[in-house]
């Protein structure tokens, strides 16, 4: 009987912690979770990518600039990653006769994909900076 009470208490405690991570109205945060990549933000229960989050920052120029930079970096890293993937596939399939050419294609593809991954980490940093700037701006506008 004692273990049932303990298990029930643990279940209710874990369910109550689910609401602890919710945001206050008007507070922006970086989306977190299993499949979150750190490039999306949550405001009032809605999820936004940097390109849509720019529209939320009419009064906060610093946040708007960070979101705009994140959007540009995100588009460029997407292009680089696709170029890298294409080069890697060409290298793997070795459409050319020489193996050295196929290896060179695969190496170039790896360089592009590594470069794109570095840019994605810059996107995450820009999004975090934008969220901090947005919340700071909204706090200053409130008081």
Residue, of 3 and 133, whose pLDDT is higher:
133
Strands (E), the chain: 28-30, 41-43, 46-48
Q: What is the mean pLDDT of residues 16-42?
A: 71
pTM here is 0.69
Q: Which has the closest alpha carbon to 103: 94, 112, 115? A: 94
The pair of three-digit structure tokens given for residue 138, joined into one six-digit string: 């909204």
> How high is the mean pLDDT of the chain?
79
pLDDT in tens, 105-126: 788 888 888 888 888 889 889 9
pLDDT in tens, 122-137: 988 999 999 999 999 8
The region of weakest confidence among 52-56, 74-78, 104-108 is: 104-108
Q: CA separation (Å) from 139 to 25, 60, 113, 133, 136?
A: 12, 11, 39, 10, 5
The confidence score (pLDDT) of residue 8 equals 63
Residue corresponding to tokens 């298990």? 7
Share of the chain above pLDDT 90, in %: 14
């Amino acid at each position: 009987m004692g273990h049932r009470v303990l298990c029930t208490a643990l279940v209710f405690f874990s369910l109550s912690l689910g609401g602890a991570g919710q945001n206050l109205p008007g507070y922006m945060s970086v989306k977190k979770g299993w499949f979150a990549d750190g490039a999306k933000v949550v405001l009032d229960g809605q999820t936004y990518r940097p390109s849509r989050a720019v529209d939320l920052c009419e009064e906060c120029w610093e946040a708007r600039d960070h979101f705009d930079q994140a959007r540009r970096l995100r588009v460029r890293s997407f292009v680089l990653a696709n170029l890298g993937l294409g080069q890697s596939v060409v290298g793997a399939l070795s459409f050319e006769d020489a193996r050295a050419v196929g290896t060179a294609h695969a190496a170039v593809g790896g360089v592009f994909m590594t470069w794109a991954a570095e840019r994605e980490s810059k996107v995450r940093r820009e999004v975090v900076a934008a969220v901090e700037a947005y919340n700071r701006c909204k706090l200053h506008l409130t008081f």
